Amino acid sequence: MNILVLSGSNAGSKTRIATTLLKEKLQRQYSGENIDYINLQDVSLPFSDGRNYMDYGGDATEVLTKIMEADVLFIGSPIFQASMPAPLKNVFDLLPQNALEDKTVSMLITAGSDKHFLIPEYNYKPVLSYLKANIVPRYVFILDTNFQDGQLLGDDVDMRLDRLIDDTMVLSRTYQDIRAEKDAQFGF
């Protein structure tokens, strides 16, 4: 199984810290799986111009291919101006239609204000739905007060991250099992 953690911000450190911690947890719990990590701060992506993702070349095709090959996708993101940051939206724009079909996708959100708690519900989920993702209903929302000296602190957040991993992997495996059962019925 291909598991991809995508840190969807090109600014700051909180999303990177949170997604790195999540990746380390995954590596401990799912060492047999193929776990990949992409931080948008480390790659250079052009704006989408509508071409097929294989036609961009460079970082874009590499990043987009990893997303297309993932079975499970954890998206980390800050909230900017009460919505997803432009670099993350650009990743979605760069992908083809139905790009997330048969993939289980969950979210890990960092924010400076708890007024933004519902932003993933009405700004992120519709985009993921349009891309046909199998969305994990619960997400983890982390406030900036949880960060101290470059570390994510607090038992509450720690346990919620564990729970996010469980929820995501259970949903993914359930979906894949039922998918395999259904595929077998097609007879081809």
Partner 1 sequence: MENENPHVMPKIDRSKGMEIGLYSLGEHMPDPHTGELIPASRRLKEIVEAAKMAEDAGLDLFQVGESHQEHFVSQAHLVLLSAIAQATNKIKIASGSTIISTSDPVRVFEDAATIDLLSDGRMEVVAGRASRVGLYELLGYSLNDYEALFEEKFELLLQINENETVDWQGKFRAPLNNAQVIPRPENEAAGLPIWRAVGGSLASAQKAGRLGVPMYQAHLGGPAEAFKSRIDLYRQTAFENGFNPDDLPVATAGFLYVRENMMDAYREYYPHLNEGMKLSNGQGFPKEAFAQGQDVKSVLNVGSPEHIVEKILYQHEMFNHDRYIGQIDFGGVSLDNIKRTIDILGEKVVPEVKKHTKRTKGE
> Are residues 95 and 67 in contact, defined by beta-carbon separation less than 8 angstroms?
yes
Q: Which residue has the tokens 């499970």?
A: 72
Q: State which residue, 100 or 107, has the beta carbon closest to partner 1.
A: 100
Q: For partner 1, which residue of 13, 34, 65, 145 counts as binding (CB under 8 A)?
A: 65
Paired tokens of 168: 């995501």
Q: Per rule CB under 8 A, is residue 149 in the interface with partner 1?
A: no
Which tokens hold the place of 36? 């990949």
SS (H, E, C) 149-166: CCEECCHHHHHHHHHHHH
Termini Cα distance of the chain: 23
Q: Of 45 and 142, which has the nearer Cβ to partner 1?
A: 45
25 versus 66: smaller Cβ distance to partner 1 = 66
1: amino acid identity, one letter:
M
Query: Does residue 115 belong to the site contacting partner 1 (CB under 8 A)?
Result: no
Q: Return d(Cα 24, Cα 27) in angstroms, integer.
A: 5
- 98 contacts partner 1 (rule: CB under 8 A): yes
Shortest Cβ 181–partner 1 spacing (Å): 12
How near is the Cβ of 52 to partner 1 at its closest, in Å?
5
DSSP run (H or E) holding 35: strand 34-39
Number of residues that bind partner 1 (CB under 8 A): 19
Does the protein bind partner 1 through residue 144 (CB under 8 A)? no
Nearer to partner 1, 96 or 126 (CB): 96
How far apart are CB 185 and partner 1 at their closest, in Å? 9
Residue with tokens 């993939």: 103
> Which range binds partner 1 by CB under 8 A, 7-15, 95-103, 123-131, 169-177?
95-103
CA 134 – CA 171 distance, rounded (Å): 8
Query: Interaction with partner 1 in 4-63: which residues (CB under 8 A)?
Result: 49-55
Smallest CA-to-CA distance from 40 within 98, 92, 100, 113 is with 92
Q: Which residues bind partner 1 (CB under 8 A)?
A: 49-55, 65, 68, 96, 98-99, 101-102, 182-183, 186-188
